[in-house]
Amino acid sequence: MCGSIDGVLSTGALRAHLLAARLAGPVATSREESLRSYRLFAMRDPRVTLGLDPEWGWGEGDLLRLMADKCGVSADPTHVSGPDVIDPERTLAGLDALAERLRAAAGRRVPVLLGTGHPHRLLGFYAALADALSAAGCLVLTPAQGRCVDITTRFGVRTYNLDYVRGVALVREPGAREPGSETGAHTHSPLPVRAALDGAAAAGGVLPELVIGDHGWVCGAGQLGIEAVGLADTDDPALFVGEAEGRVSVAVPLDDAVRSDYYRPLTRYVLNRACLSQ
């Protein structure tokens, strides 16, 4: 592990921050939301499988036990209401594992792709990782910029454009903002990462050896055999199923929709642990 630098929290201080910011402990995601996601995943609903095609048979009980193990949610099936809970020790372990994957990627200077379905919350977190990996010699890829992606939403099929901000992919509605602005659409879809990878392949360009992100960015890449790591909430069982089945390298359990500045201490912690602090 690298030595501490100014502004980096100790493990104990970061644990306290996770609880105070409700990144872990009782979180904003409700038990009802989580159980609904497990039920839909067991039915193989694409809205919650996020591009993952599970190899094992996952029933609701299996998923509840998995999420209790991976996140620390209650394993009691009769607990059906109230806020869900993430064990901060599991979050810390996930952040340490993420840092190790980043350090390995930087050591080998592999090409990386970063993308998020939560640009209004997590863009800054991923952008800092992109900057650090680029400074370490990794090629941060931005393939298929501007490509149209048709995504099914609860309002029907909507067309979005793939864009990159500070090296991080996101999608936005055409004409909603100027390219490069730091806002985008919330999406769980794996179609954006598929479009990015297809664009890179079609252009004869470099393909990523590591994808970093959330939602469909992680599951969509992992399903295609590309190493993928990222963040996931208690109602995102697909990433943890992918981790259990060996197609997602690291899934860090935390609330993925708190204020964007609450993730900054996590950024500093991960980069310091990865020996990528600048």
The string of pLDDT tens digits covering residues 55-105 is: 999 999 999 999 999 999 999 999 999 999 999 999 999 999 999 999 999
Give me the mean pLDDT over the 145-159 stretch: 90
| Lowest-pLDDT range of 3-17, 117-131, 156-170 | 3-17
Mean pLDDT over 197-216 rounds to: 93
Q: What is the mean pLDDT of the chain?
A: 93
Residue 266's pLDDT band (cuts 50, 70, 90): very high
Instruction: Decide if pLDDT at 1 tops 60.
Output: no
| Region 237-254 average pLDDT | 98
> For position 176, what pLDDT does the model report?
58
pLDDT digits over 178-199, tens only? 555 557 899 999 999 999 999 9
Mean predicted confidence (pLDDT) in 218-238: 98
Is the pLDDT confidence value at 5 over 60? no
Return the pLDDT at 2: 65
Q: Which two tokens stand for residue 226?
A: 């590309």
Say whether pLDDT at 118 is over 70: yes
The predicted pLDDT at position 155 comes to 81
Indicate the pTM of the whole model.
Answer: 0.94
CA within 13 Å, CB half, 160: 24
Determine the angle formed by the axes of helices 119-135 and 264-273, rounding to 10 degrees: 30
Share above pLDDT 90 across residues of the chain, in percent, rounded to a whole number? 88
Q: What is the pLDDT of residue 139?
A: 97
